[in-house]
Amino acid sequence: VWGALTAASYFSSLCSEKVLAFLRTIILEKVLHRDAAYFDEPKTSNASIVNDINQQSGALAAGLDGRMVTFVWCSTSFVACLVNSLLRQWQIGVYGLATSIVFLVILIILFRLMTNYMERETQDDHSADLALEMFAQTRTIQVMAVEKYFEKKYEHAQQNVHSIRNKIAIVKSVTNALNMSAIFVFGAVAFAAGARFVFNGDLTAQSLFIVGISIEFCGCVLSIVNPAFPDLVKANSAARILYSYFDLSDPVDPGTEKGKLSGEITVKNLHFSYPSRSDHEVMRDLNVSADAGDAIALVGPSGCGKSTLIALLERFYEQWEGQIMLDGVDHRRYSLSHLRRQIALVGQESFLRVQSLTTFNSAITQQLMRSVKRVRQPMLLLSLRHFPRDTTLHSVLWVDLYPVDKNSESPLRGL
């Protein structure tokens, strides 16, 4: 028996690891092909997906490893003992069957109740997502000296699920008490029902002992499976969450063009709002054009649409109205993978000054110096003071979206 249980636990754990690894891979493949709008929703944000892949897959392990082996063993033992009591003395076995039905109905109700509570906890608990985002931006939080703010925000996120966790604790307590007392209830019912048959001479004490122990063992296996019961409930809840990713349809790319891009860009009457904030229009009738070889500088405060235009160009989002033409061809006609291979996007994290929470360390002129090669600083400053806003400077097309002087310091992510 010891060897069989050891082998069962080992192979179930091995199977669990392989299944979970396969599961994570499939979810990753499904999610990586989503557009950017998918990640803007709170339920499918980057932090939520990472949390689901790690935390929920860990919870699902209970339904695959040794805990499930224990559940299967206890279930088969329960049925075998109940059948044995019915075959030996069906009158007493009926009492055991009735007690089993009552216990199982109560456990099913508690199981469903706890599953619903745990699903609500998963939906309402954003503390893990918040912690992940906080640690990803630890440097920025420390520079801005807002640690207390995020500490309170994290504490508030945990308080939001305090009531639902209390309900889960109550259901767990009732379930634990029911399972632990099962052996005494089943034993009392079996021997109390059999005592009358022994007294009347219809049953020997030895037969009552065998039948009574069989029924009592039904309660014993409930006590054995009790420690794994909450984990099995979590596994059931986690399976529902993870399988929702399997329902994601495979995206179809309508683009077929694969021509080489020369760099000519034309934006006509572009309108766009983020799907998660459809009431806020980020772009309204935007028109921009540049020939091959020109460089465009989009300058403006955070939220004015600089990164959004690049995101639309890369087809992370689909515009609501208007056109984006690349070499005279609508950019949606290009193959998505082919388009992104030819457009380089280099992101830059902002560096904040301790003295100011809204500025970079360098002025706009210093940032332009980095982007214009072989131009000395006096020449650049002189040109900036004299060139008209609608002309180019050393092949740099200045899109004047910024309301302040060019020598002023740019706001956070303002260039």
Report the C-alpha gap between 385 and 380 in whole angstroms: 9
* 98-124 residues labelled b (16+ CB within 10 A) or e (exposed): ebbeebeeebeebbebbbebbbebbee
- What is the CB-side half-sphere exposure of residue 173 using CA atoms within 13 A? 6
Residue 388: predicted pLDDT: 47
Predicted confidence band at 212 (pLDDT cuts at 50, 70, 90)?
Answer: confident
Q: Kindly report, as residue ranges, where domains of CATH 1.20.1560.10 are found in the chain.
A: 2-125+161-246
Q: Where are the alpha helices (DSSP H) in 286-398?
A: 306-313, 336-342, 364-371, 377-386
Largest CA distance in the chain: 118
- Position 377, amino acid: Q
Q: What is the pLDDT of residues 304-360, one digit of tens each?
A: 777 888 888 888 888 888 888 888 888 888 888 777 777 776 665 544 333 333 344
Angle at 239 between CA 234 and CA 245, to 5 degrees: 140
C-alpha separations of 119 from 59, 65, 277, 405 in Å: 12, 22, 26, 53
State the pairing for strand pair 409-411/359-363: antiparallel
Report the C-alpha gap between 280 and 288 in whole angstroms: 21
Predicted confidence band at 408 (pLDDT cuts at 50, 70, 90)?
Answer: very low
Q: What is the pLDDT of residues 175-200, one digit of tens each?
A: 888 888 888 888 888 888 888 888 88
Q: Kindly report, as residue ranges, where domains of CATH 3.40.50 are found in the chain.
A: 265-411
Mutual angle of helices 364-371 and 377-386, in 10-degree steps: 120
What value does the mean pLDDT take over residues 59-75?
A: 84
Superfamily classification of domain 2-125+161-246: ABC transporter type 1, transmembrane domain (1.20.1560.10)
Label residue 294 exposed, middle or buried (CB < 10 Å: 0-12, 13-18, 19+).
Answer: middle
| Short-list 193, 145, 147, 204, CA closest to 354 | 145
Q: Is the pLDDT of residue 68 over 80?
A: yes
Predicted confidence band at 367 (pLDDT cuts at 50, 70, 90)?
Answer: low
pTM of the model: 0.60
Q: Is the pLDDT of residue 382 over 70?
A: no
State what percent of residues in the chain have pLDDT above 70. 82
Q: Is the pLDDT of residue 132 over 70?
A: yes
Backbone angles phi, psi at 337, to 5 degrees: -65, -40
Residue 194: predicted pLDDT: 86
Q: Fold for domain 265-411?
A: Rossmann fold (3.40.50)
| Average pLDDT score over the chain | 76
